Amino acid sequence: MKKFTVFKSFMEMLNAGGFEVSCQEDFQNIPADLFDEHIANHTFFDDWQEMLDTAKLEYVARTFNF
């Protein structure tokens, strides 16, 4: 989060967008267009999918020391 956003944590990013999330179902119920807009406006990504894909790549690189 710190590398690609201005937020210290994922929850901080959610809270900044006004998204109240306390469980997986809450997260899944966030309207995709609103979430993508929040990400585009407050991160270095265009949308959630791009952010998620980058997180996966970062995780694999860190885990396997690439």
C-beta of residue 54 within 8 angstroms of C-beta of residue 4 = yes
Q: What residue numbers bound the domain in which 23 lies?
A: 10-64
pLDDT of 51 reads 97
**pTM for this predicted structure:** 0.86
Look at residue 31 and tell me if it is in a domain. Answer: yes
pLDDT of 53 reads 97
- Position 34 pLDDT exceeds 80: yes
| Domains held by the chain: number | 1
| Average of per-residue pLDDT across 35-50 | 97
Q: What angle do the packed helices 32-42 and 48-63 form, to 10 degrees? A: 70
Look at residue 25 and tell me if it is in a domain. Answer: yes
pLDDT of 7 reads 95
| Average of per-residue pLDDT across 41-54 | 96
What is the SS3 assignment for 50? Answer: helix
Q: How far is CA 36 from the centre of its chain?
A: 9
Look at residue 34 and tell me if it is in a domain. Answer: yes
C-beta of residue 13 within 8 angstroms of C-beta of residue 44 = no
Look at residue 3 and tell me if it is in a domain. Answer: no
